[in-house]
Structure 1
Amino acid sequence: MADLTSMPNVGPKIAAKLRRLDVDTPEDLQGQDGEELFERLCAMDGRRHDPCLLDTFVAAVDYANGGPPRPWWEYSRQRLARESAHGGAEQPA
Structure 2
Amino acid sequence: MNPEKVDRARLHKLTDLPNIGPALADDLRLIGIERPLDLVGRSPVELYQALSSITGTRQDPCVLDVFISITRFMEGEEPRPWWHYSTERKKMSHT
TM range (shorter): 0.7 to 0.9
Aligned partner of 2:80 in structure 1 is 70
Task: Give per-residue Cα distances to partners, 1:37-88, cap 9 Å, x unaligned.
Answer: 00011111112110001110111111111111111001112222x25xxxxx
1:70 aligned counterpart, secondary structure: coil
User: 2 CA distance for matches of 1:46 and 1:22?
Assistant: 16
Q: Does 1:21 align with 2:31?
A: yes
Does residue 37 of the first structure (1) align with residue 47 of the second (2)?
yes
| Identical positions, percent | 39
TM-score, structure 2 normalization? 0.82
- Is 1:46 aligned to residue 37 of structure 2? no
Moved over 2 A (4+): none
Tell me how large the CA RMSD over aligned residues is.
1.4
Unaligned runs of 5+ residues in structure 1 are 84-89
Amino acid at match of 1:79: R
Q: C-alpha distance in 1, partners of 2:31/2:55?
A: 12
User: Any conservation in 1 of the 2:64–2:89 contact (CA below 8 Å)?
Assistant: no
TM-score normalised by L of structure 1: 0.83
For 1:87, the equivalent position in structure 2 comes to none
Within 1, Cα distance between the matches of 2:62 and 2:16?
A: 19
Unaligned runs of 5+ in 2: 1-10
Q: How many residues align?
A: 84
